[in-house]
Amino acid sequence: MNPHATSWVRTQESGPKKSMVVLPDAASRIIKKAKKPTLVIGSKINDIDGLLDRVIALQKAGVEIVATGHSVKFLLEKGSDAYVIGVVEATNMLTDPNWKGIDGKGQPDLLMVMGVHLDLTNQTFSTLKNFTDLESMCIDRYYMPNATYSFPNITDDIHLEYLDDIIGKLQA
């Protein structure tokens, strides 16, 4: 079994349909292909130095940012902004095919998650996998088996390198 494609938490196995492991090149192509890529960030977004700067760079590259909990505070301190909504509320609204999206201009076609507590992230991806046609991607440093796509289990330094690579490809 590949240790890089194993759930960080043993109880978060997903059954027969597991996430496809993606590296920065494939992840950037998936994000570019999406009409409305959206990134949900959580309170752990400030745990790694430089991670918030990568979120802002993704926003400048055209990724819509949704901040949960108090993570919006970190963005505001850096002079950036985001939509604010809870992870559970956003997940539930994404299961409603009639929901017009957080900005009223339509639902995202790719939902990415980073900096949210692992259990909540896994449940978000599980709900999306089982109750929507929405593609999802975990661009956190932990493999998430219920996402459509996920980074493998990686170190903080490699995580930042992956994000830099994606940002570079999105800005090109």
CATH number assigned to the domain covering 31-171:
3.40.50.1220
pLDDT of residue 81: 84
- pLDDT one-digit tens code per residue, 21-50: 999 999 999 999 999 999 999 989 988 899
Name, in order, each residue with C-beta under 8 angstroms of 102's C-beta and a sequence gap of 6 or more.
Answer: 38, 64, 66, 83, 85, 90, 93
Find out whether 129 and 146 touch, Cβ atoms under 8 Å. yes
Q: What's the pLDDT at 5?
A: 62
Q: Are 45 and 114 in contact (CB under 8 A)?
A: yes
Residue pLDDT, tens place only, 78-137: 888 888 999 999 999 999 999 998 889 999 999 999 999 998 999 999 999 999 999 999
Given pLDDT bands bounded at 50, 70 and 90, which one contains residue 13? Answer: low
pLDDT of residue 69: 81
